[in-house]
Structure 1
Amino acid sequence: MLDRLRHRITAATTALATAVAGALLAAGPTGPAHAAAPATIPLTVTNDSGRAGPVYVYTLGTELATGRQGWADANGTFHAWPAGGSPPVPAPDASIAGPAPGRTTTIRIPRLSGRIYFSYGRKLVFRLATGGLVQPAVQNPDDPNHDILFNWSEYTLNGSGLWINSTQVDMFSAPYTVGVRRGDGSTATTGRLRPGGYQGVLDDLRAQPGGWSGLVRTRSDGTVLRVLAPGHGVATGALPASVLDDYIDRVWRKYATDMLTVTPFADRPGTTYHGRVSGGVLHFTDGSGTVVTSFRKPDADSVLGCHKLLDAPNDAVRGPISRTLCAGFNRSTLLTSPHQPDPTSEDFYRDPVTNHYARAIHARTTDGKAYAFAFDDVGNHESLVHDGSPQEARLTLDPFG
Structure 2
Amino acid sequence: MRTGRRTLRRTAAVAAGVPVLLSAAPGHVSASTAAVRTVETAAAAETRTAPPALLPLTVTNRSGRGEQTYVYVLGTNLRTGRLGYVDAAGAFTPWPAGANPPSPAPDVAIPGPAGGSTKSIKLPLDLSGRVYVSFGTKLKFFLTPDGLVQPAPWAAGDPNRDILFDWTEFTYNGSGLWLNTSMVDMFSVPQAVEVTAGDGTRRRTGDLVPNGRERILDAMRNQPGDWAKLIHRRADGTRLRVVSPHKGIDTGVFSPTYMDGYIREAWATYRNTTLTVVPFADQPARKFLGRTDASGVLNFTDASGNRVASFARPSTKDVFGCDGRLQAPNDPVVGPIARTLCAGLHRSTLGYVHTQPTTDASRFYKRTVTDHYSRKLHAHTVDGKAYGFAFDDVGNFESLVHDGSPRSAGITLTPF
- The Cα offsets for residues 342-371 of structure 1, whole Å up to 9 and x where unpaired, read as 111111101111000000000111110011
> What is the match of residue 61 of structure 1?
75
Equivalence for 1:388: 404
**Structure 1 segment 2-401 matched on structure 2, within 5 A:** 2-3=2-3, 5-6=5-6, 16-19=20-23, 23=27, 25=34, 28=37, 35-111=49-125, 112-278=127-293, 279-400=295-416
Q: Distance in 2 between matches of 1:7 and 1:194?
A: 29
Would the aligned equivalents of 1:60 and 1:114 in 2 still touch at CA under 8 Å?
yes
Deviation at 1:240, TM superposition (A): 0.7
Alpha-carbon shift at residue 17 of structure 1 (Å): 2.1
Q: Distance in 2 between matches of 1:137 and 1:116?
A: 15
CA distance in 1: counterparts of 2:370 and 2:8, whole angstroms: 20
- Cα 1:30/1:92, change in 2 over 3 Å: farther
| Structure 1 pair 53–20 and aligned structure 2 pair: CA distance change class (3 A) | farther
Q: TM-score by structure 1 length? A: 0.94
Q: CA separation of 1:10/1:303 partners in 2, compared to 1, >3 Å: closer, same or farther?
A: farther
Q: Could you say what secondary structure the match of 2:392 adopts? A: coil
Query: Aligned equivalents of 2:9 and 2:342: distance in 1?
Result: 15
Paired residues of 1:302 and 1:308 also in contact (CA < 8 A): yes
Secondary structure (helix, strand or coil) at the match of 1:350 reads: coil
Change in CA separation of 1:20 and 1:28 when aligned onto 2, cut-off 3 Å:
farther
SS of the aligned residue for 2:169 comes to strand
Q: What is the identity, as a one-letter code, of the residue corresponding to 2:285?
A: G
Identical-pair percentage: 52
Q: Which moved more, 1:256-265 or 1:321-330?
A: 256-265
Gaps of 5+ in 1: none
For 1:167, the aligned partner's letter is S
**Aligned-pair Cα RMSD in Å:** 2.2
CA contact 2:58–2:119 (8 Å) conserved in 1: yes
CA distance in 1, matches of 2:395, 2:405: 25
**5+ residue gaps in structure 2?**
28-32
